[in-house]
Structure 1
Amino acid sequence: MTQTLNWSNQMNLMNEDLARAHMHARLGEAQQLREAKLARARRLSRKAERAAQQARLALARAL
């Protein structure tokens, strides 16, 4: 009986460990996705700033 309870407990712990590992992997993927989106937003912001600066310079030259 004790052996059966031990085995059952070990199986439950293994399932918990597996679920924890899956959750950790999903959280890591979500974090990477957030970082990628943030990096893209920064790149686009810098590109927009450069375009705005070029437009201001072109306008200043035209006047």
Structure 2
Amino acid sequence: SRSEKCIVGTGLECQAALDSGVSAIAEHEGKIIYTDTDKIVLSGNGDTISIPLVMYQRSNKNTC
């Protein structure tokens, strides 16, 4: 049997994601009905919305 891969985290991942300003956070609860590299399609409250995804971008100081 193969050993499991370990997951290493600092505990700051959630805050780092929020501070990045590019997290996709739905305004209403619903169900994800489609996703790809460009968008997430969410269905809920009798409405369907498309949330565009931002591609990776370099910072102005090349720290990312």
* TM-score of the pair, normalised by structure 2: 0.17
Higher helix share: 1
- Greater strand content: 2
> Higher RCO, 1 or 2 (CA under 8 Å, sep at least 6)?
2
State the TM-score, normalizing by the size of structure 1: 0.18
